[in-house]
Amino acid sequence: MSYFDSACAAPLHPVARQALLASLDEGWADPARLYREGRRARMLLDAAREAAAEAVGCRADEVVFTPSGTRAVHTGVAGALAGRRRVGRHLIVSAVEHSSVLHSAEAFEADGGEVTRVAVNRAGAVDPRAYAAALRADTALACLQSANHEVGTVQPVAEVAEVCRAAGVPLLVDAAQSLGWGPVEGDWSLLAASAHKWGGPSGVGLLVVRKGVRFAAQGPLDERESGRAPGFENIPAIVAAVASLRAVRAEAAQEAVRLRALTERIRTRVPQLVPDVEVVGDAERRLPGIVTFSCLYVDGEALLHELDRAGFSVSSGSSCTSSTLTPSHVLKAMGVLSEGNVRVSLPAGVAEADVERFLEVLPDSVAGVREKLGAPAPATAVRARELVVDSLGKRCPIPVIELAKVIGDVPVGGTVRVLSDDEAARLDIPAWCEMRGQDYVGEEPADRGTAYVVRRVS
């Protein structure tokens, strides 16, 4: 079985395993106690904090360890907003942030705050000028991920940090996906990360709050971790997390070159091997191991099951794998195809032969799913200048498949009106039009659902 989902959770690094086992015997005691066992535990914790600070590029007393990366984000956002409450109650985030940031923003809105969500381009990147335009006199905090978790696009953090610093607004960076590859550049103010993204154990997050940033920890305060992460520290897991961070950093430069070559091979060959595929994300400014593509006329969940049976563990951001049955917010913000979405995130040390075997297996897997769903064959006869396709009650990609089947049945200049009540159609039909060179006219209200109007161009 080939595990290609390291962006979700990287396999435990051998160094992490060794450090975890070794520290179980020394790091079990309370580091706040003054007796021998407590002092040993404190030494391990302090050493881990110093090493983490060195890897991040900050002071040791700016680092706290949290029970998860999500908790680090929630604590960082809430504390920074509370600390600057007198300045105002305005928060800026990008439209493609991790759900932990977006959930924090939603909670802030529910409490009466105001949130500006900065749009991204089709590659998934923000424009620093958009952050500059969003800044206001009452802006308390801005958030920006260092790199996107779904498509791998690297964000212009240094440029946005400069804009925010000039306006006196702190910038919180979610560095979960990138910290294993190197420190985050720029004059940022707060940073959050998660150990299981770089091969450390799960249940360890990292929160950095620079000196001089106004910060008021929320909830009941504890004497541990500067009051920002209550509860007894999991010292063996923390030691293992930091040890693995140092280990992957030592290997990062060489491994990045190798993984970039493998992901570029996937980016290049997938469109050659599989028809009607859109490779998404920035082609240049991207993390080394992530490549994402979407396949027309394919149910994402069905394709993932096919690849799983073929021996590959991959993930998807498509609507078909979401418990909410809505498109990935990242793909939606980018305006790209969401159906049949596959994210391949290669772990460190992956064999080239496994990538080649994936490329061999993928075409038949996609073809099999398309055949089961009744993907369109070329249309021939022209019947009317406008056709209505009733796809109510059907989940994407079925509405898109039915559109593709009949687009050739109207003359050039004719229209097809697709009726759908699946939220994913709002993203997938315009994306299909762009891929197929047809004109997306827009959407109109209908008795049930929405009517999506497409004009045939060719």
* DSSP track, 283-336: SSSB-TTEEEEEETT--HHHHHHHHHHTTEE-B--SGGG-TT----HHHHHHT-
> Helix, strand, or coil here: 30?
coil
- Checking if the pLDDT of 194 tops 90, the result is yes
The predicted pLDDT at position 163 comes to 97
Sequence-ordered alpha helix ranges (H) in 168-198: none
Enumerate long-range contacts of 321-326, CB under 8 Å, 24 or more apart. 325/395, 325/422, 325/423, 325/424, 326/423, 326/424
CA distance 144 to 173: 5
- Checking if the pLDDT of 223 tops 90, the result is no
Poorest-pLDDT segment among 26-40, 232-246, 381-395: 381-395
Please, is 386 exposed, middle or buried when counting C-beta atoms within 10 Å of its C-beta (0-12, 13-18, 19+)? exposed
* 127 neighbors 67 (Cβ within 8 angstroms): no
The predicted pLDDT at position 316 comes to 84
Please, is 353 exposed, middle or buried when counting C-beta atoms within 10 Å of its C-beta (0-12, 13-18, 19+)? exposed
Region 9-26 average pLDDT: 95
CA distance 296 to 287: 25
Poorest-pLDDT segment among 72-81, 256-265, 323-332, 368-377: 323-332
Q: Which two tokens stand for residue 409?
A: 């049945």
> Helix, strand, or coil here: 419?
strand
- Checking if the pLDDT of 267 tops 90, the result is yes
The residues, any chain, with a CB within 8 Å of residue 291's CB and separated by 6 or more, are 152, 263, 266, 267, 279, 281, 343, 344
Confidence of residue 384 (pLDDT cuts 50, 70, 90): low
* DSSP track, 386-406: EEEEE-TT--TTHHHHHHHHH
Q: What are phi and psi of 387, to 5 degrees?
A: -120, 150
The predicted pLDDT at position 382 comes to 40
Q: Where is 439: in which H helix or E strand?
A: strand 439-445
User: What pTM was computed for the model?
Assistant: 0.89
Q: Which two tokens stand for residue 169?
A: 């607004």
The predicted pLDDT at position 326 comes to 65
Say how many C-beta atoms besides its own lie within 10 A of residue 250's C-beta: 11
Tens-digit pLDDT profile for residues 408-440: 889 999 999 999 999 889 989 998 998 889 999
Tens-digit pLDDT profile for residues 329-365: 999 999 998 888 999 999 999 999 999 999 999 999 9
- Checking if the pLDDT of 322 tops 60, the result is no
The predicted pLDDT at position 318 comes to 58
Q: What share of the chain is helix, strand, coil (3-state, %, to 5)?
A: 40, 20, 40
Poorest-pLDDT segment among 135-139, 204-208, 338-342: 338-342
Poorest-pLDDT segment among 152-166, 231-245, 298-312, 376-390: 376-390
The predicted pLDDT at position 176 comes to 97
The predicted pLDDT at position 377 comes to 52
Active-site residue flag, 320:
yes
Q: Which residue has the tokens 């009106």?
A: 417
The predicted pLDDT at position 141 comes to 98
CA distance 46 to 31: 9
Confidence of residue 378 (pLDDT cuts 50, 70, 90): very low
* 266 neighbors 42 (Cβ within 8 angstroms): no
- Checking if the pLDDT of 68 tops 50, the result is yes
C-alpha pair distances (Å), 362 with each of 165, 292, 298, 357, 437: 46, 13, 12, 9, 25
> Helix, strand, or coil here: 29?
coil
The predicted pLDDT at position 230 comes to 79
Query: Choosing from 164, 320, 396, 433, which is the catalytic residue?
Result: 320
Q: Where is 106: in which H helix or E strand?
A: helix 99-110
CA distance 168 to 147: 24
Whether omega before 397 lies within 30 degrees of 0, making that bond cis, reads yes
The predicted pLDDT at position 338 comes to 86
On average, the pLDDT of the chain sits at 92
Strand order in the sheet with 341-345: 277-280, 290-295, 341-345
